[in-house]
Chains A and B, each alone.
Chain A
Amino acid sequence: MSDGSAPRVVIVDDHDLFRAGVRTSLGPLVEVVAESSDVDSAVRAIEELVPDVVLLDVHMPGGGGVEVIRRVADGRPEVRFLALSVSDAAEDVIALIRAGARGYVTKTISGPELADAVCRVHAGDAVFSPRLAGFVLDAFAGEIPAAQVDPELDLLTPREREVLQHIARGYMYKEIAAQLGISAKTVEAHVSAVLRKLQLSSRHELSRWASHRRLVEE
């Protein structure tokens, strides 16, 4: 997918200061072609400029990141989305991943790390922060005992679980590959498979997880 040039990026966030900060911290590896502060202008900019990667805030006036993906993704499969948020709520983040985002990073991420994440999403990889890995493990296993899960739901394979656990422990793909004795490409394949399962597994199951989780937390 990657043609070697710097990925063209649209930043979608309703905080001006934050957009400016991201823009300067991304550095020369990434070309920022537009900034948007709400859903409508983001959709227009993406349709018009067809960027490689969209950096997407979870919460925004007019529907948030999920709405942007919903309105753009069908017509533009080549545009990739990376969620960038201060949100700690698993439901919000999982919803954005399920809508089609290729990864999630928190806003406290450093500039070089963010640029690296953008490049990886641009190259077709999934970007899982430790926190996202924790959310996903929660979604697939932690909160719903295996016996209650519908048999048709795609469960994580032991290997995929292992990879996610290592990500949650703070290991990078290369280090996970070395630890598990597999190649970095295989690690990426596992993460992409998890992402696919998350996006395809039945809506019903995930909503049950979400409501269960809310029940537990209250």
Chain B
Amino acid sequence: MSHSANPPRGGLRIAIGIGLLVVSGLLFVRAAGPWPGDAIVWPAAVAVLGALLIWRAPAVTPRRRRGWAAHRPSEPSPPRQPSVRMRAFGRPEVSRGGLGVALVLAGGFAFLWASGATRPAGEALLAALAVLIAVALIFAPSWRRLARSLAAERNERIRSQERADVGAHLHDSVLQTLALIQRSAEDPKQVAALARRQERELRGWLAGGDSREPGHTLAGALEAAAAEVEAAVGGSVEVVAVGDCPLDERGGAVVAAAREAMLNAAKFAGEVPVSVYAELSPERVQVYVRDRGAGFDPAAIPPQRRGVRESIIGRMRRVGGRATVRSLPGGGTEVEIAIAHGGSAVSGEES
């Protein structure tokens, strides 16, 4: 909101500056040149200032809504929006207008009082006041209605803007994917991969993309890695994360090792889903990558095959963690990756 409050405040500062300049100019004229008299000039100056304030009151400009992504759609945003907006445009405008009216009235009264016209004009003044109040009473409801319909119209505009945003997004993502799916209907693997990628993307968009953005948290980075592996190799990689923690250098190593494990599982296990389970806390991180596929004998990997040994086990050892590969031919594979944030490797099998 602060940026919206700035223009009027800056304007006010300029107005005060101009006012001071005008006052000093008037004082100079008063001392040096022809002077109509205090009773005329000062009230007139105040009244002019008030009039300027009224006329210069900012036109109500439609304020573009902040980014759609900043709001989770699950939040009750529509009821919350109007009040924010009402405050945004309502307050400065009313206070400036009110100040202007008060200044004009004060100028008029000061003139009448100073020129000694108050006494004879008392009754006329009272009558004028009564008429003013009556007019205000009569037009207040319609004025309020006008303000309200203006607000309603603004809401409607924002809503249609939102609809257009959503529509554009769905068009760019979901409709494109559906078209691709229709075109590759004879290839079930491709269809599944497309649907899967779209599902992930849509879920991320619906969730606002804030909480689990890659690069911010470990859980987000694992999700992103799973999505990459799915896109690269196909198959499905399901990530279940309990807790979360910020992504640091060691976290990066964990993600890289887990990604390698997911990649291996998706490539070599056969057509089976891969489960990733992560327990993340600031103290320690444990990630399990499991498939129930073909399995292999870890001892039988030839030494020149460096995938598992270097990219998973070696990488974790270098940052002070550990990785264990458990696999049996025919019994599936599980890679366990663990690191304690104190720096030492997590020891022991069970927590």
Contacts and interface: CB of A to CB of B under 8 A. Distances in A.
A170 B74 contact: no
Contact of B292 (A141, A143, A170, A217): A170
A108 B290 CA distance: 19
Interface of chain A, main secondary structure: helix
A50 B242 CA distance: 37
B277 interface: yes
B243 interface: yes
Given A134-B277, A169-B275, A170-B290, A143 B211 contact: no
Given A89-B74, A217-B211, A131 B279 contact: no
Interface residues of B, number: 21
A141 B280 CA distance: 12
A137 interface: yes
B243 A170 contact: no
B107 to A, nearest CB: 51
Interface in B262-304: 275, 277, 279, 281, 288, 290, 292
B277 A170 contact: yes
Contacts of B238: 130-131, 170
A133 B240 contact: yes
B207 A165 contact: no
Contact of B277 (A89, A130, A142): A130
Interface string A112-131: 00000000000000000011
Interface string B73-103: 0100000000000000000000000000000
B277 A169 contact: yes
B243 A169 contact: no
A142 B242 contact: yes
A88 interface: yes
Contacts of B203: 88
Contact of B275 (A108, A130, A165): A130
Contacts of A218: 72, 210-211
Given A133-B240, A142-B243, A165 B277 contact: yes
A168 B279 CA distance: 10
Interface string A129-172: 01101100110011100000000000000000010010011110
A170 B273 CA distance: 10
A94 B101 CA distance: 58
Could you say which interface size class chain A belongs to? 20 to 34
A127 B279 CA distance: 21
Interface in B187-218: 203, 207, 210-211
Nearest to B206: A88
B240 A134 contact: yes
Interface of B: 72, 74, 203, 207, 210-211, 236, 238, 240-243, 275, 277, 279, 281, 288, 290, 292, 334, 350
23 contacts: A88-B203, A88-B207, A89-B74, A108-B236, A130-B238, A130-B240, A131-B238, A138-B242, A138-B243, A141-B242, A142-B242, A142-B279, A142-B281, A143-B243, A162-B350, A165-B279, A169-B275, A169-B288, A170-B238, A170-B275, A170-B290, A170-B292, A217-B210
Given A130-B275, A143-B243, A169-B334, 7 more contacts: A130-B277, A134-B240, A134-B277, A138-B242, A141-B242, A142-B242, A218-B72
